Structure 1
Amino acid sequence: MAVDELDTRILTLLLEQPRTSVREYARLLGVARGTLQARLDRMERDGVITGTGPSLSPAALGHPVLAFVHIEVTQGHLDEVGDALAAVPEIIEAFSITGGGDLLTRVAARDNGHLEDVIQQLINLPGVVRTRTEVALRERVAHRVLPLVASVARR
């Protein structure tokens, strides 16, 4: 889906001022409310906008330990292991990857002991061969998309 200059201006406003009304966005952009709503609907339909809820902090929810767990899977079992990961609430993201492992998960834990319990749970999943864990010490760049939107706007 092509994102044009107006789309990037809309996306920038959504990211910078997420609690503003559609009417106010339209006023700030100098477009009709219907035009803005049609653009928002299209970008949602096309998967550019994937959510409108709040961003939550696992640390503020009592899970300050962040780890990345690489999971090596027995050949032919990637889908079933991936499905099983969805049942582990401490896994906040999981991706199929290339390189050293088959899956990469982002895990939030209460403390190191809890992290070890989660890792043991993962190791015991049918189809899991081994795991490798890296604990994050400090976030250096928070999850962000605004710089990407700005780079798309410049093209």
Structure 2
Amino acid sequence: MNKETEDVQRNERPTRALDAFDRKILRSLVEDARLSYAEMGEAAGLSAPAVHERVKRLRASGALKGMQATLDGAQVGKPFLAFVHVDADGWGKSQRMIRLKEFPEVEEMHSVAGDTCVILKVRTASAHAMEQFLSQLYVLPGVRGTKSYVVLSTYLERPVQADVTHDWPQVPLPPE
């Protein structure tokens, strides 16, 4: 594996397909990770020991990465949210770009196709703090430019959902 990209998260499929019980357990955990196995079992239609075994299996497979607290940015002194597109020489998965994970302001980092290399979700205390963060990006070798999109309001922010994508009905095309 290339040394420069070994820390990059892979979008790999789980080794075992998730069934309806797994999805119900995951949905329960996303809603409230403090639920007991008995409470999750009630929602999924399984016994507490069966839920415990499934949770262990979901962790081992990587489908369940962990259980974190969800913090409110404004309440912890970081109300300023922006998405920053970074244009850099070469591909975005270089070691110099991976160093961005060291910045506590960076909540997400995505290598993308299109007119930019990397998109960052960045949360800071103020516009001034964002400006300071952006100045640090330009210190990284190869960074040519950035475009920042400041968030005015957030209508939906949630973790990955366990539910399967809906099969939306096909909208008939109008006759020509």
Interval containing the TM-score (normalised by the shorter chain): 0.7 to 0.9
* Gap change, CA 1:115 and 1:46, over 3 Å in 2: same
1:39 matched to which residue of 2? Answer: 54
Residue range with higher mean Cα deviation, 24-33 or 61-70: 24-33
2:164 matched to which residue of 1? Answer: 151
Report the TM-score, using the length of structure 2 for normalisation.
Answer: 0.77
CA displacement 1:119-145 (0-9 Å, x = unmatched): 111112112111111111110212244
1:141 matched to which residue of 2? Answer: 156
* Gap change, CA 1:76 and 1:52, over 3 Å in 2: closer
2:174 matched to which residue of 1? Answer: none
Residue 21 (structure 1) aligned with residue 41 (structure 2): no
For 1:53-72, what aligned pairs fall within 5 Å after superposition? 53-72=68-87
Aligned amino acid, residue 163 of structure 2: A
* Gap change, CA 1:25 and 1:36, over 3 Å in 2: same
Rounded to whole Å, the distance in 2 between the matches of 1:153 and 1:131 is: 35
Asked if 2 retains the 8 angstrom alpha-carbon contact of 1:8 and 1:153, the reply is no
Which stretches of structure 1, 4 residues or longer, exceed 6 Å deviation after superposition? none
Structure 2 unaligned runs (5+)? 1-15, 168-176
RMSD of the TM alignment (CA)?
Answer: 2.1
Higher relative contact order (CA 8 A, sep 6+): 1
Deviation of 1:29 (Å): 3.6
Rounded to whole Å, the distance in 2 between the matches of 1:60 and 1:24 is: 30
Higher helix share: 1
Deviation of 1:28 (Å): 4.5
Aligned amino acid, residue 155 of structure 2: R
Deviation of 1:150 (Å): 3.2
Paired-residue identity, %: 28
Structure 1 unaligned runs (5+)? none
2:94 matched to which residue of 1? Answer: 79
